[in-house]
Chain A
Amino acid sequence: MRILVVEDEPLLNAQLRAALEAAGYVVDSAADGREASFMGEVEAYDAVVLDLGLPQVDGLSVLKRWRAASVGMPVLILTARGDWHEKVAGIDAGADDYLTKPFHMEELLARVRALIRRAAGQASPELRCGAVVVDTRGGRVTVDGQLLGLTSHEFRVLAYLMHHRGEVVSRTELTEHIYAQDHDRDSNTIEVFVARLRKKLPPELIETVRGLGYRLVCPP
């Protein structure tokens, strides 16, 4: 899962980045509205944490631009003022949730998790596919109740597939969502992760669709 953090205060930006990365997300960050606007439009993110008080272009305008360009990922706005009118304006501009500064990091992580889940049409924080259960809250994966040890990249690939169960997910799409922007991307590594996951997971769970990508097939 790939997340864009837009915050102009460098310390808070770093804290957000660290906390989200520790929770297993891939994080890109932007420090001003123009950069954020551009990144949101060209990269594929699963969620955005957007501060409203940004230099150059303010957060609300960035959000409106994204929505006008049909960029639809869930957005959590951070507001310092805490005015209800700002919250309403944020929601009306296309935000999905808000958080008032100062906030606790756990609260932010919970909101981000909920947003990603909601965007995938998932009601529960636990993603289930047959015997496999991914708990997005703690980043834990169990098979028949047994804890499975996964590397962070393996977890990201599995979590993304779990969020898109039954859909065909291309290698490019996977790459976009598990690597940060500046990372040297190589879609061959995806194959390596998938191969490793197949070994750890029950057979036939990850199906290869020729020329298109992968699909998670859950037994009914």
Chain B
Amino acid sequence: MTPVRPVWRDSLRLRLLVGTLMWASVAVLVAGWGLARLFHEHVERQFHVELSAHLDQLAAQLEVDATGRAALRMALGDPRFARPYSGLYWQIDDLTAEGRGLLRSRSLWDVVLFVPGDELVDGEVHVHRVEGPDGEPLRMIERVLRPAATPDAPLRLIVAANAAFVDAPVMRLNRLLAVALALLVLGLAFAVVVQVGLGLRPLQRLREALAAVRDGRSAAIDGRYPVEIQPLVDEFNAVLARNAELVSRARTQAGNLAHAVKTPLTVLANAADTADGGLARLVREQVGLARTQVDYHLARSRAAAAVGVPGQRTPMRPVLEGLQRLMAKVYAERDLRLQLLACSDSLAFRGEAQDLQEMLGNLLDNACKWAKTRVELSASEHGGQLQVCIDDDGPGLPAAVREAVFGRGVRLDEQVDGSGLGLAIVRDLARLYGGEVVLEPSPSGGVRALLRLPLAP
């Protein structure tokens, strides 16, 4: 079973997005929670201060005469104490008797607040949460007072307020905070998308440059890239350069070997030509064989080195025209009409120039050898491939031998010069490049050679 990779692992963009957003969300949540808490505490404290002030005021207004009758000197300032069920209440209990609700604010109307019992130390302020007249939650503070006149009859002073006075602004702020933070996260996400897009743009450029190299439109990756990518680009260019160098070295070595081997072969062959006897015959024969072998393997080794190297593109027209000039001169005696019928300037072969020359040269040479009066050449794009068509008006080939001529060393006519390797090399090279070469009857009576090769864009 193949392990399932999370989608975000396959995309740098998603990786960066997920990473950044996760971090931003955590930060925003922590900040939001902290802010909300801070505000809540602040509001609570304010509320407590307010209640304490009311309690102090209540204590200040309280008057107890010698009989122990308690009364307020003056009503408390806040109008909410006067409005029934307004949410702000006070109450004074007599702790000695069953004196709950001895004195009450008007806002309490007919309700007496119940204070949960605790071990109250005189003078200390206690905070309670209780239920109000409407069943609403109340915050209550209380303090016990021993009036100077009747120190044995302590009074409990109570101020209570609706908890909504605290909760409402907190809720309001929390809502606002949530909206603001959500907006912040959205903004961050957008910024991250834009930033990742900008940051990854050089990669897109690199991708295009690589495609150009692969298609043979350029030999190396050009241009400057950000310092994070430039080492990659430099390494890649170094690999390309090394490839090119290897191919060129293989070519040079093949050439040197050819020169080193073939000149002595020529000397041997010529010496044997001027002599008679078994030895001379043997030498002639073996020199011929050696020549065939050397030619064949040199051509193959050179091609093998070049095939698959990226960044190769050879325009067709100069190669065809060069070979046309060559044939025109070499076959000048024969009065051949050698015509390049069609070849657009933009047509190019995805491969190495010398290999293309090798294939076309051999085919063209064959056509010229056999043609009576004319050879016609054309190159075109055909089904996404490059197609070269070479027609001669020679005697043509019987269908039976049309395939056989691609064999190594097969020669149809010993009178015509050549090692009999040409077509075998052409087919080998074409196939190495993923192309093909076939011979067909030509409309002009002779042979048509069709060469199909990869097309460079």
Contact = CB atoms under 8 A, between A and B. Distances in A.
Interface of A: 9, 11-12, 15, 19, 53, 80-85, 87-88, 91-92, 95-98, 101-107, 114, 118, 123
A82 B295 contact: yes
A81 B267 contact: no
B326 A87 contact: yes
Nearest to B330: A97
Interface string B394-425: 00000000000000000000000100000000
B265 A83 contact: no
Contacts of A83: 255, 354, 357-358
B360 A96 contact: no
B259 A85 contact: no
Best-buried of A9, A80, A92, A105 by chain B (most CB within 10 Å): A80
Contacts of B330: 91, 97-98
Contacts of A88: 322-323, 325-326, 357, 361
B325 A91 contact: yes
A89 to B, nearest CB: 8
Interface residues of B, number: 37
Interface string B227-263: 0000000000000000000000000001100110111
A15 B329 contact: no
A80 B254 CA distance: 11
Interface stretch (B9-17, B122-130, B145-153, B269-277): B269-277
A131 to B, nearest CB: 26
Interface of B: 254-255, 258-259, 261-271, 273-274, 287, 291, 295, 298, 322-323, 325-326, 329-330, 332-333, 353-354, 357-358, 360-362, 417
Given A80-B263, A81-B258, A82-B262, 11 more contacts: A15-B271, A80-B258, A81-B255, A82-B258, A83-B354, A91-B329, A95-B329, A102-B266, A102-B287, A105-B270, A123-B333
Nearest to A124: B333
B267 to A, nearest CB: 5
Given A82-B258, A83-B358, A92-B322, A114 B266 contact: no
A84 B258 contact: no
Contacts of A81: 254-255, 258-259, 298
A107 B325 CA distance: 22
A163 to B, nearest CB: 16
Contact of A104 (B273, B326, B353): B273
Going nearest first, the 10 A-B pairs with the smallest beta carbon separation are A84-B361, A102-B266, A80-B259, A101-B262, A102-B265, A84-B357, A88-B322, A80-B262, A11-B267, A91-B326
B267 A85 contact: no
Contacts of A118: 332-333
